[in-house]
Amino acid sequence: MKFTGITYRPPPEANTLLLQVTAGCAHNNCTYCSMYTDVKFKVEKLEQIEKDLQEAQKLYKSETRIFLVNGDAFVLSAKKLRKISDLILKYFPMMETITMYSSIRNIMTKTDEELKDLRDNYRINDLWVGVETGDADVLKSFNKGYTMDDTYTQLKRLKTAGFDYNCKLMLGTGGRGKGIEVAQKTAELINKTKPKMVRETTLGFFDGTQLQEDVKNGKFLPATELEILEEQKKLIELINVEDTHFASNHYINAVSVNGFLPIQKENMLNSINSFINNADTSFLNSVAARQSL
């Protein structure tokens, strides 16, 4: 099967069949991200997609979930996504869920009718949306190509169309001294939009990114590990939703918590408090290096 460059997928999709439909990222201008800087964005040809599906069919006989890569595969038009879905169902008729990464921008390009059609008739019924933060100023600084108002509007449209979707967030996005404020605004976003899953990672600073340059020249002061942990706690404390999976268990996070809110909220907070109480002060006051998003 064809894959171009490093292939990224959410940790929970580790055992999911992967199918390349785009290479790189259509936006590729976020100030913090270096994931696709060496890959030019490209839409895969349907002939290659079908060839990959034929190969996959020989290896996987009865798959029910498939993840379309790469960066923001939902950038494809509704027409193109329908054709890809038809091909997937041709070779995997038992497929129940077609999922992929999406930007808020990608949702904006689909009409309400198209969203509902993809959800109801083409099994594209689950998206991983890179929300990152609920803070409008932080979002603007990240150059993601949309506003916080857009985030609220487009997630509401997904909900209305019947989509399951997972919000991907990052801790530490506000920098030093702003973690609690960002947590409050992000909790407000989650409470109003009610995603199926909230998944957290932690902001890192990578070679070649604008954010790394801002750190070097003092324009951005990274949060300490203690500040990030306090932000993590505050977000969990303030989220007020029913039966939402909250996963802050990426390997680059200082503390791993994973479960359903609100039933496991207290256990999560206890885990973070226990870590803080037992961690070395030098670590809590440091800014740890992270190797991935």
pLDDT at 82 over 90: yes
- Phi-psi sector, 218: left (phi>0), alpha (psi -120 to 50), beta: left
Q: Quick one: CA torsion of 162, 164, 168, 174, rounded to 10 degrees?
A: 40
How do residues 196-220 score in pLDDT, each as one tens digit? 999 999 999 999 999 999 999 999 9
If asked whether residues 290 and 153 sit together in one domain, one would say: yes
> Residues 217-264: pLDDT tens digits?
999 999 999 999 999 999 999 999 999 999 998 889 999 999 999 999
Residue 293 predicted with pLDDT over 80: no
211 domain residue, yes or no: yes
Q: Are 44 and 21 in contact (CB under 8 A)?
A: yes
Q: Do residues 197 and 246 share a domain?
A: yes
Q: Which residues pair with 65 in a beta bridge?
A: 97
Q: What DSSP string describes 124-181?
A: --EEEEEEE-S-HHHHHHHT-SS-HHHHHHHHHHHHHHT-EEEEEEEETTT-TT-HHH
Q: List the beta bridge partners of residue 67.
A: 18, 99
222: DSSP letter: P
Domain holding 8, by residue range, is 1-124
| Alpha-carbon gap, residue 11 to 176, rounded angstroms | 28
Whether residue 72 is contained in a domain is answered as yes
Domains of the chain: total: 2
- Same domain? 152 vs 283: yes
Task: Kindly state whether residue 58 falls inside one of the protein's structural domains.
Answer: yes
Do 152 and 280 fall within a single domain?
A: yes
In a domain, 136, yes or no: no
Do 14 and 78 sit in the same domain of this protein? yes
Would you state the structure tokens that stand for residue 94, as one six-digit string? 């038992």
172 plus 68 within the same structural domain? no
Q: How far apart are CA 182 and CA 189, in angstroms?
A: 11
Considering the domain architecture, whether residues 114 and 173 belong to the same structural domain is answered as no
Beta-carbon count within 10 A of 17 CB: 19
**286 found inside a domain:** yes
